[in-house]
Structure 1
Amino acid sequence: MISAYEDGRSEPKLSTLKTIGDILSVSIDELLFHDIEDKGRRALQKRDVKILTVSLDQEENENITMVPQKASAGYLNGYADPEYMQQLPQFHLPNLAKNATYRAFEVSGDSMLPLVPGTVVIGAFVEQPSQIKSGKTYILVTASEGIVYKRVFNYLDENGKLFLVSDNEMYKPYEIPGEEVEEIWEAKAFISTDFPNPKDKNKAVTLEDLAEMISELKYSIKKSG
């Protein structure tokens, strides 16, 4: 039957297309209308370079734009609007590399202990999802989840998805499609008025826990494939 489809002697039904798409982890739209052989997978191909809206000080040095928790919802709609971005708090930090653009996000919830709610995480802009390094922590601006701060594992080459893991073992990992990510910021520093308590370390995952999580995620990928 597949040979008949390839030769043009028969056309698959919609249900068959869905089955083929599920097996190959592609959407029906990508399967029918996108030249995968020539252009590569949509989720994996290099996206257009994103033009960031940044704020400059009087000496034309980039400010670090601060996105408070209460402004998170507005940021999803206004991050490309210069007027909106200018209204957000701006500041500088010493000892950060000069060859990157930074943004600060206020953390909510306790999924990334020992960082407590209200901690400000400063991230360096990452241009492409393919540049995500598995096991590192990132702030992701996403279409479905909003703004999230997680430890990210990059499985774009395998199934076009990213796995998001919390450092607090009370929260289960989950996955999101790579194409849902609007912005990526690799965590470089944090600001907190709460000093970490050594007793809190047992609330965060250890390297052994992470290794076990990775093994479970790989098993899940192979099982679903």
Structure 2
Amino acid sequence: MENTLSIEARRFKKIREEQRHTQQSFADILGVGATTADIERGKTKLSGKVVMELFKQFDINPLWLFGQSYQKILSSSGGDVSPKVVTLDREENETIALVNQKAAAGYPHNIQDVEWYETLPAFNIPLPQYRNATYRGFQVEGDSMLPSIRPNEWVLGRSVPSIAEASDSKIYIVVLNDSVLVKKLQKVQDAPHKVRLISLNTEYLPIEVEVKNIQELWQVNSKLTFGIEEPSESLLLRELRQSMEDLKGQINNLNT
């Protein structure tokens, strides 16, 4: 039954579920009667009013809704840094595209090229942390984010729709017009049109960029690492020393 439905009916239902609305509550905010059940079953076609409300309230691209575009979000408020292309599997579920170091060099210039995205590997993570949002993976180049992120590790980022929704001191994948950077982001209080990008490695100086030059923004929430190293001897000694101090404290408390 699901496969016989029109693409707009399936995507309409997907939007409702992502927004965590019931059929009744979604109908209320869209002004379409008592329930959206008939729309989701394909019995009632999407009206222009509903399409307008989806764009107005959730920035849903009408072309994406009807299967004519891969760009789901089309912000009407400016400062849009949401994904320009969303990758999908055959069942129309979003996938996590992986952008290695070589691909990252061309990413800013192919950011709206649907065919280019199809050359990238993609996968799904069946965990609740990766639901109801768009994610993308990027391979880190260089040592500017040491010690937290090492060269060649992969970071997974959750899409951010606008700079206004970005949080200070969080780590982001920042897609500029000519490069892709992984940095801690800080808003510039006296210059709202700029943000400061900070490396964790103190050998690198912060840089300021114009908000208008940011094409996409992804908040890093996890990473993929390989070749996990054993703790160094000095670290083990510190841990052992701390354990001994804790034990001494416990003994002293028993004697008092």
Give the TM-score range, shorter chain. 0.5 to 0.7
Alignment partners' CA distance in 1, 2:96 and 2:158: 10
Shift of residue 48, structure 1, vs aligned partner: 5.2
1:13-162 → structure 2 map (5 Å cutoff): 46-47=78-79, 50=82, 52-95=84-127, 96-114=129-147, 115-144=149-178, 146-155=179-188, 158-162=191-195
Alignment partners' CA distance in 2, 1:139 and 1:51: 12
Shift of residue 82, structure 1, vs aligned partner: 0.9
Alignment partners' CA distance in 2, 1:198 and 1:156: 40
Please name the residue that 1:186 is paired with: 219
CA displacement, residues 19-51 of structure 1 (integer Å, 9 cap, x when unaligned): xxxxxxxxxxxxxxxxxxxxxxxxxx7335856
Alignment partners' CA distance in 2, 1:173 and 1:117: 19
Q: 1:164 to 1:49 in 2, by over 3 A?
A: closer
Q: 1:198 to 1:142 in 2, by over 3 A?
A: farther
Q: Percent of aligned pairs with the same residue?
A: 36
Q: 1:61 to 1:110 in 2, by over 3 A?
A: same
Shift of residue 60, structure 1, vs aligned partner: 1.8
**Structure 1 stretches of 5 or more lacking a match?**
1-44, 203-225
Q: 1:110 to 1:46 in 2, by over 3 A?
A: same
- Paired residue total: 155
Describe the SS at the equivalent of 2:226: coil
Alignment partners' CA distance in 2, 1:175 and 1:47: 17
Whether the aligned pair in 1 keeps the contact of 2:80 and 2:162 (CA below 8 Å) is no
More strand, by proportion: 1
Q: 1:122 to 1:172 in 2, by over 3 A?
A: same
CA displacement, residues 87-120 of structure 1 (integer Å, 9 cap, x when unaligned): 1111122323311100000000011112211111
Structure exhibiting the larger radius of gyration computed from Cα positions: 2
Whether the aligned pair in 1 keeps the contact of 2:79 and 2:211 (CA below 8 Å) is no
Shift of residue 186, structure 1, vs aligned partner: 0.3
Describe the SS at the equivalent of 2:191: helix
Describe the SS at the equivalent of 2:108: helix
Whether the aligned pair in 2 keeps the contact of 1:111 and 1:166 (CA below 8 Å) is yes
- Aligned-residue RMSD, C-alpha: 2.2
Shift of residue 52, structure 1, vs aligned partner: 2.9
